Amino acid sequence: MKKLALLTLVAACGGKYQAPPPVSSIALPDGSQLKPYDPSKPGKARPQGLEQAAGRVYVTLSNQRDTDSFPVNAGPGFLAAFVASTGAITLVDLGGADGQQCQNPGFVRASADGRLYTPCSGDFSGTDTARAIVEVDPVANAVTRRAAIPAGRVPNGVAITANKIWTGDAFSTTVFSIDKSSFSADASDPVPVDCAKSVFSYVADVMAIRGGLYALCGSDISGELYQLNPDTGAVLAHVTVGPNPTELAGLDDGRIAVVNAGDNTLSLVTSSSAGLTAQKALTFSSETAALQDVRAFGHILFTAASGSNTAQRIDLDAPGGPKVIGEANFGPGSGPYNILPLDDTQAIVSNRGTNTIAAANWVTVK
């Protein structure tokens, strides 16, 4: 009985668990560095998209200020260019002379010729002038062109094909294009890319993969991956993936990986002359929450989950099928939103919650 009481006392006094390991990260510019419209109301970086170009890592900064309701744009959108070897950060102001020509940039993608393109969603009203597709020269770290978005549309996702720049609509299930030469929105009607819904549906992303164009429709109960003609947008094929898909990634073998936030799964889509076929390749742990991104490096996939503050490293060739072989945690409240593989063992994430970027220190399956 005494022993039991002693054990109980020891247990009650703590010491059963180690303190969590420290997480190293790099803080992104904040506050006055982001040219707030009202100096008394500065924004936070709220980083999102990641891309590599000209030897640097680029991350979009939404530059938003929290309120007691919906976050508001506190200043122009930015790209932060980060040199991994030195930690140096250079800001690229996307807002133009008046600071109003790009707000709330989310994605950033590089074209084959090394240019960067980022869609700016503005205030999500679909009527403001801060909605745009912005082209950036990463060598000069300067904006080179800006395409206005037609009224009623909010750009979401960006795909750079040979002649067009495609983007989706955050408030409808359509995609539309920007002519790459004139850098203005095409007059043609938006292309529907619907998916079954109960409450909401939208275009989660569009992406150019191995010369093809793909659009991902997400809804509260379903998801649909579309293969489109990269010049006309005509639907070539489509397939149902999981509910509420958030991102897609092209593999070097032609397959496409899709993360489905609704049911916490990974789908693998195969393209053939018969069309697209999808299979659920992996169900994540119950503790992994809010899958936001997927990227590929060879047959290694990297995923980010903002709800659980984690990133996963997945071996598609593992015996028995795709398997999580490594995982990293970026700390409470970090909210990793996007992930960028540097090779098949290293990746960095943009932490939207803590306004940092961090390298994944993988805990690996033994």
Partner 1 sequence: MPPLRAPWRYLLPFALLAGTIARAQEPGETIEVEGERPKGSPRAPAAAGTVIDTAQFGGEVRSVAEMLLASPGVSVHALGGPGQATTLSLRGASADQSVVLLDGIPLQGPGGGAVDLSTLPATLLDRMVISRGVLGAQFGAGALGGAVELLPRTGRQTWSGGAELSGGSFGTGRLALDAAMPAGNGTAVVALQGDRTDGTFEYARQLTPEIPGSPSYGFTRENADSTRGSGLLRISQDLGGDLGVDLLLQGSGGLRGLPGPSSAPTPRSRELDESGVGGVRLRGGAGDVGWSVRASGRLDRVELRGVRSFGDCDDGAPDCPRDDQRSSNVGAEGELAIALGEANALQLRLAGGADRIHGSGTGAHQRGVLSASIRDDAALPANFSLHPALRFDSIGADAGLSPALTAAWKPAAKHPLTLRAGWGLSFRAPTFSELYLERGGIAANPDLRPEHAWSVDAGAEWRTGLLTLSASAFWSSYRELILYQLFPPAQVKPFNVGEARIAGLELQAVVPLPARFLASLSYSFLDAVNRLDGHKLAYRPPHRLFARLARQGERVEGYGEVSFTSALPRNAFDTAFVGSQVLLNAGAGVRAAGPVWIDVEAKNLLDDRTYEDLFQYPLPGLSIAVIARARL
Nearer to partner 1, 32 or 283 (CB): 283
Q: Contacting partner 1 (CB under 8 A), which of 2, 70, 85, 274?
A: 70
Interactions with partner 1, residue window 265-294 (CB under 8 A):
265, 283-289
> CA 36, CA 75: separation in Å to the nearest integer?
4
Nearer to partner 1, 57 or 266 (CB): 266
> CA 121, CA 45: separation in Å to the nearest integer?
15
Q: Select from 108-116, 176-184, 230-238, 242-250 the region that touches partner 1 (CB under 8 A).
A: 242-250
Q: Quick check: 68 binds partner 1 (CB under 8 A)?
A: yes
Please give the span between the terminal C-alpha atoms of the chain, in angstroms, as a whole number. Answer: 40
Beta bridge partners of 336: 351
Nearer to partner 1, 93 or 169 (CB): 169
Q: Contacting partner 1 (CB under 8 A), which of 159, 324, 340, 348?
A: 324
- Closest to 218 in 3D by CA, of 235, 208, 206, 230: 206
What DSSP character marks residue 31? G
Nearer to partner 1, 184 or 198 (CB): 198
Q: Per-residue x/- marks for partner 1, 33-62, CB under 8 A? A: -------xx---------------------
Nearer to partner 1, 85 or 286 (CB): 286
- Closest to 353 in 3D by CA, of 338, 334, 337, 332: 334
With contacts defined by CB under 8 A, how many residues of the chain interact with partner 1?
60
Amino acid identity at 289? A
Q: How far is the CB of 268 from partner 1 (least distance, A)?
A: 16
Nearer to partner 1, 289 or 359 (CB): 289
Three-state DSSP class for residue 97:
coil
**Cβ-count burial 90-103 (b if 16+ within 10 Å, e if not):** ebbbbbbeebbbbb
Residues 6+ apart with CB under 8 A from 13: none
Q: Quick check: 200 binds partner 1 (CB under 8 A)?
A: yes
Q: Select from 135-143, 157-165, 182-190, 256-264 the region that touches partner 1 (CB under 8 A).
A: 256-264
> CA 242, CA 320: separation in Å to the nearest integer?
21
Tokens 């119950």 belong to 286
Q: How far is the CB of 299 from partner 1 (least distance, A)?
A: 18
Q: Quick check: 27 binds partner 1 (CB under 8 A)?
A: no
Nearer to partner 1, 244 or 350 (CB): 244
Q: How far is the CB of 149 from partner 1 (least distance, A)?
A: 15
DSSP string, 54-94: TTEEEEEE--EE--SSS-EE-S--EEEEE-TTT--EEEEE-
Q: Select from 24-32, 178-186, 223-231, 323-331 the region that touches partner 1 (CB under 8 A).
A: 323-331
- Closest to 242 in 3D by CA, of 215, 263, 226, 256: 263
For the record, the structure tokens of 288 come out as 């992994």
Q: Select from 80-88, 184-192, 236-244, 341-349 the region that touches partner 1 (CB under 8 A).
A: 236-244
> CA 59, CA 48: separation in Å to the nearest integer?
6
For the record, the structure tokens of 17 come out as 């668990």
Q: How far is the CB of 282 from partner 1 (least distance, A)?
A: 10
Q: Quick check: 66 binds partner 1 (CB under 8 A)?
A: yes
Q: How far is the CB of 270 from partner 1 (least distance, A)?
A: 22
Neighbours of 54 (CB within 10 A): 14
Backbone φ, ψ for residue 34 (5° rounding): -105, 25
Q: Contacting partner 1 (CB under 8 A), which of 3, 18, 181, 274?
A: 18
Q: Which residues bind partner 1 (CB under 8 A)?
A: 8, 11-12, 14, 16-21, 40-41, 65-71, 121, 124, 170-171, 198-200, 202, 220-221, 242-244, 262-265, 283-289, 307-310, 312, 324, 326-329, 332-333, 335, 353, 363-365
